[in-house]
Amino acid sequence: MRKNMILCGVGGQGTVLASRLISSAAMARRIPVLSAETIGMAQRGGSVFSHLRMGENLYSPMIARGEADLILGFEPGEAVRLLPFLKPDGQMVVSSRPVMPVTAALSDTGYRAEDMLDYLASRVPRLLVVDAEKALREVGSPKVLNLILLGAALRSGALGLEAEDLKDAVRRLIPEKFHELNFRALDYA
Amino acid sequence: MHEEFVMGNEAIALGALAAGVSLVCGYPGTPSTEVLETVAKRRGESVYVEWSVNEKTAMELAGGAAYAGARALVTMKQMGLNVASDPLMCLEYIGVKGGLVVLVADDPGPISSQTEQDTRSFAAFSKVPLLDPSSAAEAYEMVQEAFELSEKYQTPVFLRPTTRVSHGYASIRVKDPEEYTVHTPEGFVKDSGRWVIFPRLSFANHRKIEVRNDQLKDIFSAHPLNRIEPEEGTCSGCRKGVAAGGFSYTYVMEAREQLGRLRTLKISTPFPFPEKKAVEFLAGLDEVLCVEELDPYIERELIFVCGKYGLKTRILGKMTGHMPRSGENSRDLVLQAMASFLQISLPAVPEETPPPLPVRPPVLCAGCPHRASFYAVKQAMKGRKTAFCGDIGCYTLGNAMPLDMVDTCLCMGAGLGIAQSLNRLEKDRCCFAFVGDSTFFASALPGVVNAVYNQAEFTLIVLDNSTTAMTGHQPHPGTGKTMMGQVVEKVSIENVLRGIGVTAVETVDPLNHPLAVETVRRVADLPGVKAIVFRSPCVALFRASSRVTVDPAVCVGCKKCIREIGCPALSISEGKAVVDPGQCNGCTLCAQLCPVGAIGGGAHA
């Protein structure tokens, strides 16, 4: 099995942990993993991404355009930014909730999440939009968008992993007091 | 052995521990920082680790350890090598006894650096051998080999990952602690003929270094990591080849899968350059494309080899316009370049026109005390002729609109010298030098002494958030903690300044806005060099439990809070200011400037 995935969002949204959970789950299944992510200044509110590749005989952790089997968009604008990386038949899972840059608040040049989602809908046959506001409210924590998106990706089949693989990864990487909340987010449908 | 999923920098740390390193030191800098942090986390009791005050000090410390026969690792980013170059240039002439590995992480892009300098070129300049890994797995092996080389040839050895190697993750096989090499240092043996640098010794050692590096060219030519693929004979029809090194090698190998058979040369030891391997590669090739980042290093070396050995191969790359001269490579860029080099047409990618995307420049965090400090100086200096000389750290982000409070930024500690000069040339310009607490200790002290002694006139602002924030919160002399876990006496910034002779030194909480503004107004007009220490902890370390809220019934929608300070937690919704509770840290700066008192709550209320 070979799978290429991109997780993208805005610094502070939890893309790195989500990427780590997938890697850990894949490794537990003895699938080789390579990944790369944004670290440094861009983490202060900039656009961030993780590239993650699973499978044998890979050289580079980086993914080329049109090569991603799955894009997990933590933010609609960022999902559009990285859309060129998605395979024509690739799966995209995207959060509906925009994160406005500070510049938008300053100059009234905000953008509409609807425009981004419409654009994605017109180009991505396999698009899954997660109503993030509703999901976070129903799960009961503003901090678990990453697990909610991972859950949606699991059920789309594009992750190539089972729910139990990710739950084991949660047990390995996240403190026990948050397990129950994270499982709830992962199972949220 | 066991398998671990590690970052390239973690792999380097584990490799150094496996090689029996005794002392690890460095100064934080993206993308190198995690090497030392991993050593600190995973070290055995016999391993000493410290964040030194700057790279020069770290290099000297590591050199001393190597004099005593210990294996030492010193870590820094490429900018840090500039700071450490004085001791390193000399160390190469003096040589070492224990293995000394100099880990320098380069940053193509640049992603988080001021320059795109290439440590491979620095290696050639300093005559220090260099290993250039293309992956975490190679980096793990190479750091161990670097210690061996260093001891065998009594020279420091560079290990040079780039950002994508340092920050890429891979599952690799690493040694268990029981398998680590035990390396017991002999201790310092007095020998002034060896350890004291004098022109006569330098002359003699220079000759030895050149002879050794010529030998290393041949030794490296036989090194398995300098590879020609496919092996001799299996690509008989190949008239074109690609030479690559570092992370770009992974792009080349991925592209090769798509483009088909092609001779490739991987260069893992750029200095001393494996000439004979290159000759073997070039034999029978008409054209070679060099795929590398930063300097056209391999390209120049191959052109040199062609000249020296009378070969007719055309060498293409950055200098011939076949590859970009600056910036990072990517899978797509390399695929395109190799396809056009091989005259293979790739399927056209349809041009898409997405809706305009948000621009996301990095910003100071919500509640960051630097924002309050900059805003206080801005308010106090309204209408005055000023210059705000910034420095390297999170506070460089004070340049963003609407704060716009960084007029210059050059390198660590440079703001002091620049402020001194700008005022010297225009006496009516009120000049400020902003420096963070870690940078203060690392690079600002000579600038303060220089300014005081030479009768300069400017205000030094020390932005003291009690950590090295930008690189992920490392301790420094002002924090009272060491990497060995000790709690120690802090070095007081105020006492240091007073000791140098700065007579006006005031300390103020920047989140008390009226007091901060009043202090700046008063202190800035005093004669000579004066200093204000703005002290308030980094919000990423000490999150406040309180939040401010906007009373929509009182808010008049004037947007002053948004226009003045650019806090990422503030936005406008339906004509009123709103605070994102997920981001707000309750610093109350917005509440203090709201003209109608619509914002309440928070830690400072």
- Minimal-distance CA residue of chain A relative to B173: A32
pLDDT per position as a tens digit, A177-187: 999 999 999 99
Any chain B CB within 8 A of the CB of A60? Answer: yes
The answer to whether B397 faces chain A, any CB pair under 8 Å, is yes
Q: Which residues pair with B228 in a beta bridge?
A: B265
Closest Cα in chain A, distance from residue B402 (Å): 8
Question: CB count, 10 Å around CB of B282?
Answer: 22
Could you say which residues from 63 to 82 on chain A have a Cβ atom under 8 Å away from some Cβ of chain B? 63-67, 77, 80-81
Q: Which of A46, A61, A115 sits opposite B355 (nearest CB)?
A: A115
Is residue A42 scored above 70 in pLDDT?
no
Any A CB within 8 A of B336 CB: no
- Provide the pLDDT confidence category of residue A40 given band limits of 50, 70 and 90: low
Interface of A with B in 150-189 (CB under 8 A): none
> In sequence order, what are the residues at sequence separation of 6 or more whose Cβ sits closer than 8 angstroms to the Cβ of residue B250?
A59, A60, A61, A62, B134, B135
Those residues whose C-beta lies under 8 Å from the C-beta of residue A68, and which sit 6 or more positions away, are: A4, A5, A6, A82, A85, A86, A87, A90
Q: Which of B30, B169, B249 sits opposite A35 (nearest CB)?
A: B169
Domains along chain A with CATH numbers: 3-98+112-187 (3.40.920.10)
Q: What's the confidence (pLDDT) of residue B574?
A: 87
Confirm or reject contact between B357 and chain A (CB < 8 A): yes
> How, if at all, do strands B240-245 and B287-291 pair?
parallel
User: A109-118, B22-31, B321-330: which range is least confident on average?
Assistant: A109-118
Number of other residues whose CB lies within 10 A of the CB of residue B178:
5
pLDDT band at B232 (very low <50, low <70, confident <90, very high): low
User: Is-contact B282 B288, C-beta < 8 A?
Assistant: yes
**pLDDT tens, residue by residue, A126-177:** 999 999 989 999 988 888 999 999 999 999 999 999 999 999 999 999 999 9
Predicted local distance difference test score (pLDDT) of residue B359: 85
Residue A125 pLDDT more than 90? yes
Name the 3-class secondary structure at A186: helix
B170/A34 Cβ within 8 A: yes
CB nearest to B361's CB, from A32, A39, A103: A103
Widest CA span of chain A, in angstroms? 50
Give CA angle at A167 (A161, A168), nearest 5°.
90
Report the alpha-carbon distance of residue B181 to residue B68 in Å, rounded: 18
What pLDDT was estimated at residue B605?
A: 44
ipTM for the assembly: 0.92
Interface membership of A55 toward B (CB under 8 Å): no
Mean pLDDT (whole number) for B370-378: 98
- Token code pair at residue B284: 């029978």
Decide if pLDDT at B380 tops 90: yes
Question: B157-182: per-residue pLDDT in tens?
Answer: 999 999 999 999 999 999 999 999 99
Q: Exposed, middle or buried, B175 (CB in 10 Å: 0-12/13-18/19+)?
A: middle
Contact B105, B151 (CB under 8 A): no
Mean model confidence pLDDT for chain B: 95
What mean pLDDT do residues B92-116 have? 96
CB contact A121 to B (< 8 Å)? no
Q: Give Cα separations from B417 to B390, B443, B499, B526 (angstroms).
A: 11, 11, 19, 19
Residues 6 or more apart from B499 whose CB is under 8 A from it? none
pLDDT in tens, A49-69: 999 999 998 999 999 999 999
Residue B569: alpha-carbon gap to chain centroid: 29
Report the gap between the CA of B173 and the closest CA in chain A (Å): 11
Phi-psi region of B13 (alpha: psi -120 to 50; beta: other; left: phi over 0): alpha
Q: Provide the pLDDT confidence category of residue B236 given band limits of 50, 70 and 90.
A: low
Do A3 and A157 form a contact (C-beta atoms < 8 A)? no
Q: What is the pLDDT of residue B367?
A: 93
- Residue B323's alpha-carbon distances to B294, B341, B493, B508, in angstroms, are 11, 10, 48, 52
Q: What confidence tens digit (pLDDT) does each residue in B243-286 have?
A: 999 999 999 999 998 898 789 999 999 999 999 999 999 998 99
Q: Across the interface, do A42 and B358 touch by the CB < 8 Å criterion?
A: no
Answer whether A46's CB lies under 8 Å from B361's CB. Answer: yes
Cβ atoms within 10 A of the Cβ of B565, count?
A: 21
Domains located in chain B, CATH noted? 2-216 (3.40.50.970), 227-341 (3.40.50.920), 369-535 (3.40.50.970), 548-601 (3.30.70.20)
Residue B204 has pLDDT above 70, yes or no: yes
Residue B234 has pLDDT above 60, yes or no: no
